[in-house]
Every structure is written in C-alpha cells, then in structure tokens.
Structure 1
Amino acid sequence: MHTWHWRSWQELPYLSCSLLEEFPHGFFTQQFWSHSLEDMTKILHAEASPYRLRQVHGNKVFTPREIEHILSVGGDEVEQIGEKTFAKADGLIGDRPLQAVWTASADCTPALIGDIKTGLVAAVHAGWRGTAQKIVPQAISRMQSQGCKLQDLRIAMGPSIAGEVYQVSEDVAVQLGSTLIPHEDEKAIINGLQEIDNSPLLPDSEPGKVRIDVRQVSALQLEQLGISPEQISLAPYCTYQNPENFFSHRRAKQGKVQWSGIVSMANGA
C-alpha cells in the first residue's frame, strides 16, 4: 500500500506520495495560495526551474523545449495572463535534469508521473474533459516516445473531487465511460461502467444524473494500457470535502487553485 505523507514548509502543509519518493515533488494546499511557483519550486529543489501552462481541459502534452518554440511562434496555442505568456495545454513533461513541471487544480485531478529508470517526469491536469480525451495516457505515450517503459512509471493522483460528491449528467458519464468501454450504445456504456470491479460510477437520486469518480476512470485507463495497479496511487483526500486544506471550484467557485509539481532527475533526452 502506497502511503501519503503530510509535510510542512514554514508550518504550511503539503502532501507527498511514497510512490514518488525518488523525485522531489509535492501536492500543495490552499495555504500556499500567496506563494509563487518559484517559491514552491525551491521547496522541492533549490536548483530546479519551474514550468507551467495555461490549462484548457484538453489533451495536449508538451516539453519545455516545445513550449519555447510555441511561445516564439505565437498564435492560437498561446495566451497572455497578466504580463506573462503561456502555452495552452494540460500536460508537461520534464525531460532534462531539474525541470520542475507544475499543474494547477481545484477539483480536477493533479497527476504526477515519474520514471524510476530515466528520471523523466510529467505533471498532468485531468478534469473530466481531459480524462474523456485520455490526457493521462497521452502523457504516458509521450514519455514512451522518449524512451520510458511502462513498468518503470510511477503515477500519483493528488487530491480531487471524490465520486460520491461529484454529480454529472449521464452524457458526461458516457463520454468518460467510452474511453473504457468501446461501444456505440450509451446505455451499454453506462451498464458496462456499473459492472466494472471497483466501479467509478455511483447512483444519484436525480433523474438523468449520476456520480462518477474521474480519478478512478484515469486509473482504469492506465490499467488498460498494461500498467499495474501497484504503480498507481490515489490520494485519500477530496477537495470538495476538505475546505480547510483545498480550494474546490464546485464548492466555492472562487477561481482559486492549488499547485502540484515534480522535479525531473533525467540525464537529458
């Protein structure tokens, strides 16, 4: 069983996962809201450089080198936020040493991935839309293209909204379920989801609605790739139900996020 540990920096709490113990990493709480990514990167590793994206609920995954190219070209793939310009995507791969890759979330799943052989890492923002587009498998596919092997990957999915409190339409459940159950018929997809061991689908009293654990859908997508459940860990914390530590968009709609990051130990790719 993989363990999750509360750690602290200047008495502010953040989480780490034993599965990623070889990598400097952290799932930071709302208490870090006023701190910059540069500050949080230094908590993980004094010499690492931070990278982030403008997240858009898609399935694009970039490396820092690709981001530099995109920013130099401009166009539809970039967006200015304040004085800075960011590439639009939802997954980042650190493929050179000491790259701190970050993802922001406030109910969506922050997934951090490390390869224990190559030292490559990834940070992925996986909301329901991204999960319906297989964003986490997409990040892993990109890592494989750079020499990573499935058996060497370790995937920790941080605090996000739990299935028992995440009400969605049946249409959303079908979009998510179709990534696991290749079927044209919507009812067949819903029924198939219900029959999965440790099903991500939960009933809801409102007609046309269900509850779904999006993190569990991502985990099942990874298992279908051939990744062992022992290589995957889900944090035992729900953003919606833990207001003392986590922002939740569904609970408060504040537009605030918490950040999760991991530092590459790669020897270069």
Structure 2
Amino acid sequence: MTKDQAKEHRWFWHNGFLSCDLLSQWHHGFFTRDYAPQTPQALHKYFGDFGASRAYHAKQVHGDRIVNTSDFSGDYLPEADGVFTSDPNTSVWACSADCVPILIGDRSLGTVAAIHSGWRGTAKGILGKAIAKFIESGSDLSNLVTALGPAISGTSYQVQTDVADQVLTTIKNPVGVFPDATLGHCRLDLRLVQQQQLLELGLTISQIAIAPYCTFQTPEHFFSYRRNCLENSIKSSPQIHPQIQWSGIASVERSN
C-alpha cells in the first residue's frame, strides 16, 4: 500500500466483517474465516433488511469474464470471475483465499460488481473489463469507486519471474514487484499492480482503497491458500471443506 493510499480511506470492522468508507453508500462486506462455511445466500442477511431477494456468485475459474445477474438461471452458475448488476437491492459476491476480492460501485447509478482476481486474472486484465462493463452500462468514470480487499501481500507472495512479467505487461509504469533471494523468483504485490491498472484506466487515487490486511499474515481473520499449503504439506488428506472467505456488495437505487 502506498503512503498516499493509506491516508485516503478508512477501513473498519462491523459485526465481524470488514467494510470501507469509500463504499459507505452500499451494504457491503469483506467477510472473514469466522463466517465459513456460510454461502452468499446466507451471508447477505448480515447486511440487514434491505429487500435483496437473491445473492449472486459465479463459478470462479481464474479468468477474465464478467457476467450480469441476468445471465443466471435457476441454480446454474456461469463460469466467470466477476458478477455485475444494475438491479436494485441485489447482492453480488466473490470468494478468495489469497487472491484479491474487489468490490466496485457507481455512486450515481448505484450499480455494483464483485470481482475475483489472482495473478492470472490480473494478467488478463479483468479489472479493465469490469470498468468497461460499467461504462457500457452508462457509468461515468468519475463516479466509480473501488475497494481492493484483504489478499496476500507482496512481502508474502513469492512467484516465478515469468509470472510477474505477465502481470507487468498490463501496466505502463511497473510497480509491485520486489526482489527475492531465490533465483528466478520475485515478490509480487497484486494490489499495487491493480491500483496502477485502475490509475492508468483513468481513475484517481481517491477512487481506490486498499485493505490494510494480508491474508497470509493474518490467520486469526483470514484463510490463506498459500499458508494452508505450507501448513499441510506433510498431510496426505485434502481439506474436506474449501477454506475461502466471501466478499459482497448490494446495489442501491439510482440517485436523483
């Protein structure tokens, strides 16, 4: 996180989940491991009685596809890593366990999206596709706000250099990559890269917030896929239940 970014926005705990003042006009939350294994359909009740009839989430595949809630039918889950809605009082969700959960809203239209972005989604430009979805739906870039939730930090995320190279091709100003003692590897801060992607798309620093939490370094609050792999490297049996946390946001009526 940059010093300027740290000064911009406040994050706070509410009923055991994390919220950001940048998204204060929406019911939203970055939930913790304490809520596992509850699903979005159960979790959105913690937002209070705001009339949401359904919570939507996709079958995440580490890609760059963004779907609308109108693409859902019955119990069918489309393969995608982002869900967008313009339907009032509808919540959309993404799950993560080191990858970055991203919640986006339009302050004028009330439309929202929930995005899951690991290094593959970041390299494929899923954030740019999400912003394009808003623009196609009538948003003005100046009305968008984006919160990058708890995820693995650069100090804890060791990757091969070719992975970092793929991610860095998406930005003009290279940021978020740091040296590592292991040959052929480096440290990668996905949220700094994503912040730079958003800045180069035309958002300002005041429209972006980064959560001050690392999933790897905060086991009391968050699951971490990488930490779990290290802790269970000598175990022969896999986890019965997926260790993930959900992040969601509910759309609101268009402002006058």
TM-score under structure 1 length normalisation: 0.84
Deviation at 1:45, TM superposition (A): 4.0
Residue by residue over 1:120-167, the C-alpha shift from the partner in whole angstroms, topping out at 9 and shown as x without a partner, is 000000110000011111111001100011110110010000001100
Write the mapping of 1:54-69 to structure 2, written as runs, cut at 5 A. 54-68=59-73
Residue 125 of structure 1, aligned match among 116, 121, 127: 116
Alignment of 1:199-214 (within 5 A): 199-214=175-190
- Offset of residue 111 of structure 1: 0.3
Shift of 1:37: 1.8
Equivalent in the alignment of 2:57: 52
Match of 1:21 in 2: 24
Which position in structure 2 is the counterpart of 1:4? 11
Within the candidate set 23, 27, 35, 2:38 is matched to 35
Matches within 5 A, 1:169-184: 169-181=160-172
Q: Which residues of structure 2 form unaligned runs of 5+?
A: 1-7, 230-238
**Alignment equivalent of 2:105, drawn from 110, 114, 130:** 114
Query: Post-superposition, which runs of at least 4 consecutive aligned residues in structure 1 deviate over 2 A?
Result: none
1:105 — aligned with what?
96
Counterpart code for 2:65: K
- Cα–Cα, structure 1 residues 230 and 267, in superposed 2: closer, same or farther, change >3 Å? closer
Report if the CA contact (8 A) 1:95-1:266 is conserved: no
Give 1:17's aligned amino acid: C
Find the counterpart in structure 2 of residue 245 from structure 1.
221
The 2-side partners of 1:6 and 1:267 are apart by 27
Deviation of the 1:216 alpha carbon: 1.1
For the 8 Å contact 2:108–2:254, the answer to whether it is kept is: no
Q: Secondary structure at the match of 1:205?
A: coil
User: In structure 1, what is the Cα distance between the partners aligned to 2:191 and 2:253?
Assistant: 27
- Contact persistence 1:106–1:247 (CA under 8 A): yes
Q: SS of the counterpart of 2:199?
A: helix
Indicate the larger mover: 136-145 or 248-257.
248-257
Supply the distance in 2 between the matched residues of 1:43 and 1:258 (Cα, whole angstroms). Answer: 15
* More moved, 87-96 vs 35-44: 35-44
Does residue 264 of structure 1 match 2:232?
no
- 1:231 matched to 2:231? The reply is no
> Once the two structures are superposed, what CA deviation does each residue of 1:247-269 show, in whole Å capped at 9, x if it has no partner?
0000004531000000001449x
Query: Identity of paired residues, percent?
Result: 42
Counterparts of 1:190-205 in structure 2 under 5 Å?
193=174, 199-205=175-181
Partners of 1:212 and 1:96 lie apart in 2 by 36
Separation in 2 of the partners of 1:151 and 1:4? Answer: 22
- Aligned match of 1:92: 83
How many residue pairs get aligned? The number is 235
Structure 1 equivalent of residue 194 of structure 2: 218
Unaligned runs of 5+ in 1: 72-83, 182-191, 194-198
Distance 2:98 2:180 in 1: 19
CA distance in 1 between counterparts of 2:48 and 2:200 reads 34
Partner of 1:144: 135
- The CA RMSD over aligned residues, in Å, is 1.5
Deviations 1:209-262 (A, max 9, x none): 000101111110010011001100000000000001100000004531000000
Could you tell me how far apart the structure 2 residues matched to 1:44 and 1:15 are? 12
Q: Is the CA contact (8 Å cut-off) linking 1:45 and 1:263 kept in structure 2? A: no
What whole-Å deviation, never above 9, does each CA across 1:26-76 have from its counterpart, x for those lacking one?
0000000032322211111432120011000000001111233xx7xxxxx
